[in-house]
Amino acid sequence: MYSFLTESMEIVIIPKLSRGFKFTVRPYVVCLLALLWLGITLYSFFVITREIDYNFVKADNKVMKAKLAMIAEELSNNRKYLKLARDTDKQMRQMLGMKGGKFINMPGGFDDAKEERRITFSSIFSKESKDINEQEINEVFKETTAAAEEQLASFQEIAWFYTNQKNSSNAKPSIKPAKDYRVTSSFGYRLNPFPSYHYGMDLAGKANSPIYVTADGVVRQTGWALGYGQAVLVDHSFGYSTLYGHLADIRVKKGDRVKRGQVIASMGTTGRSTGVHLHYEVWKDGTPVNPKDYL
Ligand SMILES: [Zn+2]
């Protein structure tokens, strides 16, 4: 076998038309050449595969970067909406006459600092992926979430304020307690029927015409009251209460919830009265005030 490999051989090539030629080789040289060829082939295959892999990674990287850019844009859009929400917040507070508020009291510098962060923000994502600082991105996300939460809290505060203000406006006496009447005595000092201070307003109308409660509230007292005859006292909260006197017929009872405009009684002349009329009082924070300002 060894002798076969080392023995020199003659390879003769004889073309049909031209002159032939021959050369001498030893089989082991042929084997070596074959091995070398195999080696080169394998190596090229390896290099090509690596190149393909690299290209895949490169493409992946490009996709990643595009995705990051998309996220960055999406986030800065969110920031824009947050800014819009903040402006709306300010407008609503102005409209409602809301003084202060957690959100609006935020130190000015704080807002500016955030603005600055917003600018650097997209630059974070435009960096090479190896330069992207995960912590930095996390901070941006956290900050955005915090700002959104803060905004939500602020809106809730506005909603709460609005509801309360609505309730207080519902609690304020602001309609006429009777229709078709003439004022026979107004609030303040009077001489007739005797010199005294008149804590209400007398409205004369038709007997048994309806008496309306002038604000939302809860009936605190009904029935006979000295000097007032048949009377109804209604608590409206927010410091308001109203009193209706000389009534003919009472249609509510103590503890009833009443809505502004609801009929609670009819006009009469019970008690110390000289004719059919309603004696109407408005109290604010424990003091009788002129009902004329609340009609
Ligand atoms: Zn009166």
Percent of the chain surpassing pLDDT 70: 86
pLDDT at residue 43, rounded to an integer = 94
Confidence of residue 128 (pLDDT cuts 50, 70, 90): low
Window from 84-93, 135-144, 248-257 with minimum mean pLDDT: 135-144
Where in 132-255 does DSSP place strands (E)?
182-185, 188-190, 196-198, 201-204, 210-212, 217-225, 229-237, 240-245, 247-250
* Spacing, Cα 277 to ligand 1 middle (Å): 8
pLDDT at residue 251, rounded to an integer = 97
* Spacing, Cα 255 to ligand 1 middle (Å): 25
pLDDT at residue 13, rounded to an integer = 82
* Spacing, Cα 66 to ligand 1 middle (Å): 81
* Spacing, Cα 31 to ligand 1 middle (Å): 131
pLDDT at residue 148, rounded to an integer = 84
- Alpha carbon distance 132, 274 (integer Å): 90
Window from 28-37, 92-101, 163-172 with minimum mean pLDDT: 92-101
Average pLDDT, the chain: 83
Higher pLDDT, 96 or 293: 293
- What are the residue ranges spanned by the domains of the chain? 1-171, 182-294
pLDDT at residue 34, rounded to an integer = 92
230, pLDDT greater than 50: yes
Per DSSP, the three-state class of 152 is: helix
| Torsion angle in degrees (nearest 10) through CA of 172, 174, 176, 177 | -10
* Spacing, Cα 217 to ligand 1 middle (Å): 22
pLDDT at residue 123, rounded to an integer = 65
Window from 77-86, 122-131, 179-188, 271-280 with minimum mean pLDDT: 122-131
212, pLDDT greater than 80: yes
* Top-level class of domain 182-294: mainly beta
* Spacing, Cα 187 to ligand 1 middle (Å): 8
* Spacing, Cα 186 to ligand 1 middle (Å): 8
Per-residue pLDDT averaged across 123-129, rounded?
A: 64
* pTM beyond cutoff 0.85: no
* Spacing, Cα 270 to ligand 1 middle (Å): 12
* Spacing, Cα 254 to ligand 1 middle (Å): 22
* Spacing, Cα 210 to ligand 1 middle (Å): 17
Which of 242, 229, 243, 232 has the alpha carbon at shortest distance from 274?
Answer: 229
* Spacing, Cα 291 to ligand 1 middle (Å): 11
Per-residue pLDDT averaged across 63-81, rounded?
A: 83
